[in-house]
Amino acid sequence: MRLWDKPIELNEKLLSLVADIYDASLDDSRWTTTLGSIVDLAGGQGGGLVWIGAAGEAMISHAVGVEPAHVQSYIETYEPFDPSRGVLHAPVGQIQTIRDWIDVDEFRTTRFYNEWARPQGLEDAANILLHKSAEGISRLSIMKAGSAVDRRMYQVISHLTPHVQRAMLVRQKLQQQNALEATSARTLDALQTAVLLLDADGNITHSNASARDILDEADVLRSVHGRLVMSDLNADRVLRQALAGTVLGDRAMTSASISLHLMARDGSRYVGHLLPLTAGRRQMFAASYEACAVLFVSKAALDTIVAPDLIRKLFKLTPAELRVFLSIVEIGGVPDVARSMGIAETTIKTHLARIFTKTGTKRQADLVRLVAAFSPPIKI
């Protein structure tokens, strides 16, 4: 008898159950109820979605119609003696019963039957290997009480198996994606550099921990109803123009990053780099967050004792030039540095000209950006 020759009521139940199966793939909490419906429609007593990890450990993802004590004893003691383990070597998607691996009379003499199945009134089970990969194996088991798996149970399970397989695949992909996103979020949160993903209107679609810290201070950057605003009006104007350019397809705005020089109320200096996400492979990343650009913001501060020495050695600066270099970054313009160091402005300008030559820079703002590059990439 073909499935569509069966009573209309059963067909409607099957169609409704298929919808429930795909709903469960998106909401793991629905699996127990859905599995119960599968067992009921198939005429079984109990069922389980079993996942076996790569190391061979058996875990019951979801179980119905079986007492928790029996589930636990299966995992801890009886799983190795279960003849239905043979399904792990069967073709994926093929329904197999106890009779496919062992004679019924012989099965009834086994420890598994007498100590685990028989006390529950179980006589047979339909088992299907749903998925097999390097990460592990998943299987569906529908247990039958009082008699062997019959034609009706086989037909119901045959109809539902492809949908359960697809649902489990969707579930696996979602779990992998969630794990990847969680890892990416943890990685971004470990960065000392603030990272903000922005849409065309400047709305923040994602921010890492460092960015949230800066936003909470509401000094250099702040969020106004979810929209990023820079305290420096000129930098804010450049940001708006750049974001608009990425949407309009301005080639100058969609290829290279844009540098921004920012200053806090206490005189601390920050460097921002706006990178468009509207060209090449960046578009794939942008689509995940509905973003058109990513803004990196770093504080231009030498907060390690290693960085000044690295800068001195890398650019072959004299001790005097290094002091001027650091003072320019930390204090500001030539007059302020001269007063702070007790040196004539002409001397500071002479040192500064040599520093520009050695570092390949032209402006004091370039030195600030250079220092930002020597900040440690992760939080210490």
Q: Which residues of 198-233 are buried (b: 16+ CB within 10 A; e: fewer)?
A: bbbebbbbbbbbbbeebbeeebbbebeeeebebebe
What is the structure's pLDDT at 61? 82
Six token digits for residue 187: 């990685």
The confidence band for 2, taking pLDDT boundaries of 50, 70 and 90, is very low
The confidence band for 374, taking pLDDT boundaries of 50, 70 and 90, is low
For 239-297, the pLDDT digits (tens) are: 998 888 776 554 444 445 688 888 888 777 788 888 888 654 444 444 455 788 889 88
The confidence band for 26, taking pLDDT boundaries of 50, 70 and 90, is confident
- Report the Cα–Cα distance between both ends of the chain, in Å, rounded: 69
| pLDDT higher at 112 or 59 | 112
What is the structure's pLDDT at 267? 76
Span 52-77, mean pLDDT?
83
Q: For residue 241, report the phi and psi dihedrals to the nearest 5 degrees.
A: -65, -40
What is the structure's pLDDT at 3? 45
For 65-89, the pLDDT digits (tens) are: 999 999 899 888 998 899 988 888 8
Judge contact between 368 and 299, C-beta under 8 A: no
What is the structure's pLDDT at 252? 45
Span 60-65, mean pLDDT?
85
**What 3 state SS string does the chain have?**
CCHHHCCHHHHHHHHHHHHHHHHHHHCHHHHHHHHHHHHHHHCCCEEEEEEEECCCCEEEEEEECCCHHHHHHHHHHHHHHCHHHHHHHCCCCCEECHHHCCCHHHHCCCHHHHHHHHHHCEEEEEEEEEEEECCEEEEEEEEEECCCCCHHHHHHHHHHHHHHHHHHHHHHHHHHHHHHHHHHHHHHHHECCEEEEECCCCEEEEECHHHHHHHHHCCCEEEECCEEEECCHHHHHHHHHHHHHHHHCCHHHHCCCEEEEEECCCCCEEEEEEEECCCCCHHHHHHHHCCCEEEEEEECCCCCCHHHHHHHHHHCCCHHHHHHHHHHHHCCCHHHHHHHHCCCHHHHHHHHHHHHHHHCCCCHHHHHHHHHHCCCCECC
| pLDDT higher at 182 or 27 | 27
| pLDDT higher at 161 or 51 | 161
For 101-136, the pLDDT digits (tens) are: 999 899 999 999 999 999 999 999 999 999 888 777
What is the structure's pLDDT at 59? 65
Span 43-63, mean pLDDT?
80
| pLDDT higher at 367 or 129 | 129
For 139-183, the pLDDT digits (tens) are: 899 999 999 999 999 999 999 999 998 888 887 777 777 777 777
What is the structure's pLDDT at 376? 56
For 172-194, the pLDDT digits (tens) are: 777 777 777 777 778 778 788 88
The confidence band for 305, taking pLDDT boundaries of 50, 70 and 90, is very low
For 223-243, the pLDDT digits (tens) are: 999 999 998 898 899 899 888
Which of 2-6, 18-22, 370-374 is the most confident on average? 18-22
Tell me the angle at which helices 151-190 and 209-217 cross, rounded to the nearest 10 degrees.
50
Span 208-236, mean pLDDT?
92
Is the pLDDT at 204 greater than 90, yes or no? yes
Which of 41-50, 286-295, 323-332, 336-345 is the most confident on average? 41-50
Measure the CA–CA gap between 347 and 342, rounded to whole angstroms.
Answer: 10
